[in-house]
Amino acid sequence: MKTALKLAAAAALSAGLLGVSTTGASAAIVCNRDGDCWHVRHHYDYRPEFGVTVYPDSWRWRAHEHYRWREHHGRGYWRSGVWISF
Q: Which of 49, 28, 47 is nearest to 39 (CA)?
A: 28
* pLDDT at position 74: 87
Rounded to an integer, the average pLDDT of 1-24 is 48
Cα→Cα distances 24→27, 29, 54, Å:
10, 17, 18
* pLDDT at position 19: 43
Rounded to an integer, the average pLDDT of 6-19 is 48
pLDDT in tens, 13-36: 454 444 444 445 579 999 999 999
* Chain centre to alpha carbon of residue 9: 32
Cα→Cα distances 35→49, 58, 79, 82, Å:
16, 17, 10, 13
pLDDT in tens, 32-62: 999 999 999 998 899 999 999 999 999 999 9
In terms of pLDDT, which residue wins out, 78 or 9? 78
